[in-house]
Structure 1
Amino acid sequence: MGKFIRLKKGFDINLSGKATTKLAQTDQPETFAIKPTDFNGIYMPKVVVSEGDIVKAGAPLFHDKKNESIIFSSPVSGEVVEVKRGEKRKLLEVKILADRTVEHLPFNKYSVSEIENLSREVVKQQLLKSGVWLNLVQRPFGVVADPAETPKSIFISGFDSHPLAPDYNFLFKGQEQYFQTGIEILKKLTTGPIHLNVHTKKEIGAIFSQAHGVELNKFSGPHPSGCVGVQIHHLDPLGKSDVIWTINPYGVIQMGKLFLNGIYDASKIIAVAGSEVKDPQYYKTYTGASVKKFIQNNLKQDHVRIVSGNVLTGTKIGREDHMGFFDHLVSVIPEGDQYEFLGWITPSSNKLSLSRAWGLFSFLNYNKEYILDSNTKGEPRAFVQTGVFEKVTPMDILPTHLLKAIIAEDYDDMEALGIYEVIEEDLALCEFVDVSKHHVQAILREGIELMQNS
């Protein structure tokens, strides 16, 4: 039987420009790209294709040099037009010029009854060979799941509480059979429970309400209630030697399609949203799509910040760049490179703030939608301990002290203060409310990498 968890700490950032539940018609992007930088724990990707090669959807593009069984597959069929590298020949992305009609590399196909009798090893090899394995993320540290590990449980967050988050019921409508098949696949990978978590104030669609073989848990409260790290903390806390895997609903559905249809299906629905989008709505495309087609002639102005993902944890991209592997959202907000007279101290009813003193009247109008830009209104300064981090972190950890321990490279304190329980998204709100303007998420990742290499 599932549990009910009520969270009080946190903060909802209610931005203007949410996508309407409408699937727009547009030409598919010409290029798609897979970027190893989207995955933590992959430090030495080895490319197995060359520019000019013709590939099918599901064909390997590169693999992890440390663990060659972890394969990164092409989301579409077409020609490899660029293997982009940065400093010291670091692989940044592999770009494919897509065919008009996607051709799929065939994989083993199974009926529902056959899947019930598959061994863990057969399931694991199919997931690895196809590239679908990449949907599995391992805690602690938020890295690509290690095939040699057996997690004590698997977590699926059935809602997204980030700003401008897409509607999961719309994204995954009609995918009930594939989702349930994906659950049966996941059950082969763990001896523990599979936690499916939903929010009490969001409609629970058929894809989640009809799922069986899972523990359906209900959460209430503001962001970061949708972050799976927060959910793990309250349902099945991580110990030092524990391993838990997480996966989003799209990854579960992709597993179902792989085994039932025998193909690597990277098709997905994405939302293009934000205050600077003329028509915030949904589009059907494939993983790693170029955003050019979705924003062309669809912006209110040219001086904007385009983000692959949400505005808290997403990645800044250009107008012809590609979406991240895990992203179902493109956020477009005003660029924040202008100066404001008196800065944040200017009284205004149009400012959103956790503090009642700074965001005049914003706390009285909870449902108001705000237009926020990318301006941080300050530069990094002395680390001021205000207690504000603890107000937005619904976990029994001390984020202020944890971050200071990371800066000091104090391994014992990092461990004692809960570094095994968090990744960037869990503390992203701390960066938003930080009066000291520190890059909290970057600091946390540095600490995680120190612990990994210790």
Structure 2
Amino acid sequence: MSKLVKLKKGFDIKLAGRAEKKLAEIQQPETFAIKPTDFVGMQRPKVLVNEGDKVKAGTPILFDKKAEAVQYTAPVSGEIVEIKRGEKRKLLEIKILADKEVSFESFDKYSISDIKGLNKDVALAQMLKSGVWPNIVQRPFGIVADPADSPKSIFISGFDSSPIAADYSFILKGSDEYFQAGIDILKKFTSGLIHLNINAAAEIPTTFSNAQGVQINKFSGPHPAGNVGVQIHHIDPINKGDIVWTITPMGVVEIGKLFLEGKYDTTTLIALAGSEVKSPQYYKTYKGASIKRFIEGNLKQDHVRFISGNPLTGERIDREGYVGFYNNVVSVLPEGDYYEFLGWMKPTAKKLSFHRALGLLSFLSPNKEYVLDTNVRGEERAFVQTGTFEQVLPMDIYVTYLLKAIMAEDFDGMEELGIYEVVEEDLALCEFIDVSKHDVQQIVRKGLELIQYS
């Protein structure tokens, strides 16, 4: 039975520069990359190609030695031009010089009626071989799902409430058939429900309203209402021993394309957004695209930070960096590498703050869009007990105590305080408002790894 969940806790960060719903006309980027660092928990990647090799979209590029069945494949066809490594030969990127016309590896094609009767093992083999499987992420831990597991349910968040997020209804336009095919495939992997969660305050895209075989739930409230972890908490909470799978709507479409067209097609729309972009808009491209052509002649200034993803949870990249596997927005913000004497306590309406006591007047203009830079306005200090974390996290979790349990490596405390229900993105807003300036997301990941590998 569908549910309506009204959330009051949270905080909307209204940033200037949301992408307009229009497509820019540019040439495709020259290079694309697959980054093992995008896949949480991948520690032993095995590279299957060499520099100079020719690949097609869907050609296996690497796998994790801990889960050899899951193949990570090329998003486009072309030539492997660089296998980039960092300290201790850590694999960072595998770069592909793309062909002018993308060619694809061939996989089995099925009609919609054939998909409904398809054997689960046959579907699994094709998903693992083609490269679509990493779209499925397991909770707890936020890692690529183990194909041997049977989740109690599958969750799809149909909207993104993070600042300057991409609009799913625009990205998914015309993908109804692919989305339904993807749902039909996913249903084979769980005896539970597939939950499709949508924004109660927005018009429902036809891609979602026409979907069959899902339970549609509506969520209202400020960010992080669009976070799939928050949605799981209110619909089907995770306890110790439970497994839930999550996937983005775009990941579902990729699965549908694989079975309907017999190819690994990562075609997607990427939003270039942020206050420092002259024309924030969308670009039609493939996964792992270089942002170089998106930003050429499109910046208001050069002293900026490029983020693959949203400003709260995204990864910092350079001006020739690549969009992450799970990202559909590139955020461009002013760089905040400066010192402002007593800047945090000057009364002003130009800065955004959750804390009224700090002298900032942003609460007087709740609908104003702000130009915020990356300055954290302070340095790390001892935890201050403010109780504000619980005001922005609509989950029954005592955040400060959970973070302290992680830092103390108190395994029993972590489990009792809800470590299985969260990943970094769920507490990213806590990091934004933290007056103690702790790297909350990094602390959460440390706790998850302690539990996972204990």
- TM-score interval, normalised by the smaller of the two chains: over 0.9
Give the alignment of 1:195-206 within 5 angstroms: 195-206=195-206
- Greater shift, 201-210 or 407-416, is seen at 201-210
Mapped to 2, the partners of 1:96 and 1:418 lie a distance apart of 41
Q: What residue is the counterpart of 2:15 in the other structure?
A: 15
Mind listing any 5+ residue stretches in structure 1 that lack a counterpart? none
2:75 aligned with 1:65: no
Could you tell me how far apart the structure 1 residues matched to 2:412 and 2:280 are? 47
Shift of 1:210: 1.0
CA–CA separation in structure 1 for the residues paired with 2:298 and 2:342:
33
Pairing of 1:35-434 with structure 2 (within 5 A): 35-358=35-358, 360-434=360-434
Paired with 2:377 and 2:409, the residues of 1 have a C-alpha distance of 28
The separation in 1 between residues aligned to 2:70 and 2:85, in whole angstroms, is 20
- The residue type paired with residue 139 of structure 1 is R
The Cα of 1:61 is off from its aligned counterpart by 0.5
Pairwise CA RMSD: 0.8
* Count of residues in correspondence between the two structures: 454
Instruction: Give the distance between the partners of 1:370 and 1:67, measured in 2 at CA.
Output: 44
C-alpha distance in structure 2 between counterparts of 1:41 and 1:276, whole Å:
33
CA distance, structure 2, for counterparts of residue 372 and residue 203 of structure 1? 29
Q: SS where residue 442 of structure 2 aligns?
A: helix
Task: Tell me the secondary structure at the aligned position of residue 217 of structure 2.
Answer: strand
For residue 189 of structure 2, give the secondary structure of its aligned residue in structure 1.
coil
Letter in 2 for 1:390: E
Instruction: Report what 1:30 is aligned to.
Output: 30
Contact 2:58 2:76 in 1 (8 A): yes
Preserved CA contact (<8 Å) 2:334 2:374 = yes
Query: Could you tell me which amino acid in structure 2 is paired with residue 193 of structure 1?
Result: L
With 200-209 and 420-429 compared, the bigger mean Cα shift is at 200-209
CA contact (8 A) 2:346 2:360 kept: no
8 Å Cα contact 1:352-1:359 kept in structure 2: no
Q: Matches of 2:450 and 2:432 in 1, distance apart?
A: 24
**Quick one: structure 1 residues 359 and 55, their matched pair in 2 at CA, closer, same or farther if it must change by over 3 Å?**
farther
Q: Find the aligned partners of 1:218 and 1:113 in 2 and give their Cα distance.
A: 29
| CA deviation after TM superposition for structure 1 residue 341, in Å | 3.2
Alpha-carbon distance in structure 1 between the residues aligned to 2:148 and 2:395: 29
Return the alpha-carbon distance in structure 2 between the equivalents of residues 125 and 385 of structure 1.
Answer: 50
- C-alpha distance after superposition, 1:355-404 (max 9, x if no partner): 22336332122110000000000111111111111111100011110000
What are the superposed Cα offsets for residues 315-374 of structure 1, whole Å, 9 maximum, x if unpaired? 000000111001100000100012223221111011111122336332122110000000
Partners of 2:233 and 2:395 within 8 A in 1 = yes
1:38 is matched by which residue type in structure 2?
D
Contact 1:32 1:96 (C-alpha < 8 Å) held by counterparts: yes
1:16 is paired with a residue of what secondary structure? coil
1:230 CA drift (Å): 0.3
Is the 8 Å Cα contact of residues 351 and 359 (structure 1) preserved in structure 2? no
Under a length normalisation based on structure 2, what TM-score does the superposition of the two structures give?
0.99
Amino acid at match of 1:91: L
The separation in 2 between residues aligned to 1:337 and 1:90, in whole angstroms, is 28
The one-letter code of the counterpart of 1:49 is V
CA distance in 1, matches of 2:216, 2:283: 29
Cα distance per residue 1:290-309 (max 9 Å; x no partner): 00000111000000011000
Deviations 1:29-48 (A, max 9, x none): 10000011101121101000
Q: Secondary structure at the match of 1:229?
A: helix
TM-score by length of 1: 0.99
Counterpart contact for 1:349–1:359, Cα < 8 Å:
no
Supply the distance in 2 between the matched residues of 1:211 and 1:115 (Cα, whole angstroms). 15
> How far 1:201 sits from its partner (Å)?
1.4
Distance of 2:400 and 2:439 partners within structure 1: 13
1:171 maps to amino acid: I
Q: Secondary structure at the match of 1:431?
A: helix
| Separation in 1, partners of 2:202, 2:274 | 21
Q: Whole-Å Cα distance in 2 between the matches of residues 22 and 359 of structure 1? A: 39
- For 1:385 and 1:412, locate their aligned partners in 2 and report how far apart those are by CA, in whole Å: 22
State the match for 1:4 in structure 2. Answer: 4
3-state DSSP of counterpart to 1:188: helix
Distance, in Å, in 2 between the alignment partners of 1:228 and 1:113 is 30
- Larger deviation: 299-308 or 196-205? 196-205
Look up the match of 2:444: 444
- Distance across 2 between alignment mates of 1:359 and 1:343: 10
Indicate the SS of the match to 2:430.
Answer: helix
Q: Secondary structure at the match of 1:95?
A: strand
Whole-angstrom distance in 2 between the partners of 1:33 and 1:271: 18
* AA at the equivalent of 1:125: A
C-alpha separation in 1, matches of 2:256 and 2:74: 18
Percent identity reads 65
CA distance in 2, matches of 1:360, 1:37: 37
Q: Residues 178-228 of structure 1: CA distance to partner in whole angstroms, max 9, x if unpaired?
A: 001111001011110000000111221111111111000000000000000
CA distance in structure 2 between the partners assigned to 1:281 and 1:338 by the alignment: 29
Quick check: 2:347–2:361 contact (8 Å CA) kept in 1? no
Letter in 2 for 1:272: L
